[in-house]
Amino acid sequence: MTPRSYELLIDGRWTKARSGETIERVSPAHGVTVSTYSKASEHEADLAISAARAAFDRGSWPRMSGSERSKVLLNVASLIERDAELLAMLDTLESGKPIAQARGEIAGAADIWRYAAALTRDLHGESFSTIGPHKLGVVVRDPIGVVSIITPWNFPFLIVSQKLPFALAAGCTAVVKPSELTSASTLYLGKLLLEAGLPAGVVNILSGKGLDVGAVMTSDPRVDMISFTGSTRVGKSAMATAAQTLKKVSMELGGKNPQIIFADADLEAALDAAVFGAYFNAGECCNAGSRLIIQRSIAESFVADLQRKVRDVKVGDPLDEDVRVGAIVTPEHLAKIEGYVADAQEAGAEVKVGGTRLDYESGQFMAPTIVDGVKPQMTIAREEVFGPVLSVLTFETAEEAVVIANGTDYGLSAGVWSRDFNTCLNVSRGIHAGTVWMNTFMDGASELPFGGYKQSGLGRELGRRAVDDYTEEKTLHMHHGPRTAWWVTNPAGQA
Ligand code: NDP
């Protein structure tokens, strides 16, 4: 396989890093180099921010009508669809995710670009005609300015598509840094943006390390907003840096999401969703349903069925159309996942299935794993494992289930399964999470806001108000007619 090479997109031109350094990405499933990117440093971050700043302050993009901007976003959506197979392949080769799944993510991303294009024409403020005679208040929404967009490795193309089209719809300009592990599809997007007619400098894309490029993107005073998706640890540090210049921040961070199964649920459907929730994207998923909380009366038989079901999940080469669980992103990450399982065993939990790496010739794979007998205070029940590892806990009453579900620092998403809709609604309303699925899991739609409570994040992406997040409100307070409240003297001598 010949590796593809990528340069940096700065001010509409493809540019090599001044240092001449590159980053090589080895496919986690195949053990061969699949991409080489030019490695940006502080110097290129500075150039990219200058270009985005100039495009915002003096360029055409923020000044275009919504209709003109929406045409460009629609072009991007069509180009994504045209090159969907290539984009899916890039994400699969770099992240290790199954190709069939990657295709779904690219299609979902194109849908988001179209949705953002529609919102472009509906960006509006408010007016107030009730603030007094001869007075009118109009609140307009201005684009916030230059946005630094920083994304993780697990859903490379989908996550940049949850941010960039909305920032562009608002009229912002951007500097984008994908993860150094999975930059290819985002760099390829740069080519599509230019082809779609986006003016030079509006979007600049840098492959590079968080510690140097990301640090400039979060500290530079010329940047107005940070839109970050990644771990809670790095998100907190990016926020602390951004606070020095009081930038607006939007944070999509980790999750330790519960799926609560009541005895009266459709157990066949719940079983399938439990397996999907835990092992989709090899569990390297912020939304992973990594804590299964089962009503005690059915726990034993449910876990027995689960073991059978998990053994049927096909693990292996992500280029195989039938594979459901691909490779783990890096050897270091695989070791970390195994460490969590070993730690849980030491704490008294029992591995029912899996628990070990799979000895394939190339790349790194982990067997889908069920850890039973987990207690809420164990590390495995509280921290994000970010691998194909399902922890099983039990509950007696709905109240107890809610307490367990809420018992972590995270609050991204949750699932509730019961045939009694009152149970579903009562439990859902008690859960502290940004999304609660009832009798389904990890469903998504561009129309629905997504984001976390507690340490899972700040702000919401997607949904009708996603564009608003990239704007500042400006109040225009007008008086039409004679001055009514003289402060010093009234020249006409009137009261
Ligand atoms: P990281 O937090 O390690 O990295 C995320 C991004 O931040 C990468 O591009 C990274 O660069 C960059 N970065 C690292 N250090 C800094 C810094 N000091 N300043 C600015 N940027 C920096 O996350 P992962 O890539 O490991 O992704 C996994 C995490 O993402 C999980 O915790 C997961 O839950 C979360 N996530 C959340 C989602 C959500 O919507 N809530 C969705 C998907 C994932 P680099 O690594 O290239 O050096």
Adjacent-strand bridge partners of 150: 177, 228
Would the pLDDT of 495 be above 60?
no
User: How confident is the model at residue 3, as a pLDDT?
Assistant: 77
State the distance from the centre of ligand 1 to the C-alpha of 39, rounded, in angstroms: 18
State the distance from the centre of ligand 1 to the C-alpha of 475, rounded, in angstroms: 36
Atom of ligand 1 lying closest to residue 183 CA: 47
The tokens of 115 are what? Answer: 């949705």
Distance CA 455, CA 432 (A): 11
Atom of ligand 1 lying closest to residue 177 CA: 9
Beta-carbon contacts of 401 under 8 Å, excluding residues fewer than 6 positions away, are 260, 293, 295, 395, 427
- Per DSSP, the residues of 232-291 read HHHHHHHHHHHHTTT-EEEEE-----EEEE-TTS-HHHHHHHHHHHHHGGGG--TT---E
State the distance from the centre of ligand 1 to the C-alpha of 152, rounded, in angstroms: 4
State the distance from the centre of ligand 1 to the C-alpha of 34, rounded, in angstroms: 21
User: How confident is the model at residue 494, as a pLDDT?
Assistant: 58
Asked if residues 451 and 461 have their Cβ atoms less than 8 Å apart, the reply is: yes
Q: Is the CB of 219 under 6 A from ligand 1?
A: no
Distance CA 290, CA 275 (A): 10
Would the pLDDT of 472 be above 70?
yes
Would the pLDDT of 361 be above 70?
no
Query: Is residue 292 classed as helix, strand or coil in its secondary structure?
Result: strand
For the stretch 219-275, pLDDT in tens is 999 999 999 999 999 999 999 999 999 999 999 999 999 999 999 999 999 999 999
For the stretch 87-116, pLDDT in tens is 999 999 999 999 999 999 999 999 999 999
- Per DSSP, the residues of 135-155 read EEEEEEEEE--EEEEE--SSS
Atom of ligand 1 lying closest to residue 461 CA: 40
- β-strands 453-454, 410-411 pairing: antiparallel
Q: Is the CB of 411 under 6 A from ligand 1?
A: no
Beta-carbon contacts of 435 under 8 Å, excluding residues fewer than 6 positions away, are 287, 412, 413, 414, 448, 450
Mean pLDDT over all residues of the chain?
A: 97
Adjacent-strand bridge partners of 258: 291
Instruction: Indicate if 44 belongs to the active site.
Output: no
Catalytic-labelled residue, pool 252, 284, 338, 461: 252
Closest residue by Cα to atom 18, ligand 1, is 211
Adjacent-strand bridge partners of 365: 358
State the distance from the centre of ligand 1 to the C-alpha of 172, rounded, in angstroms: 22
Q: Is the CB of 384 under 6 A from ligand 1?
A: yes
Instruction: Indicate if 252 belongs to the active site.
Output: yes
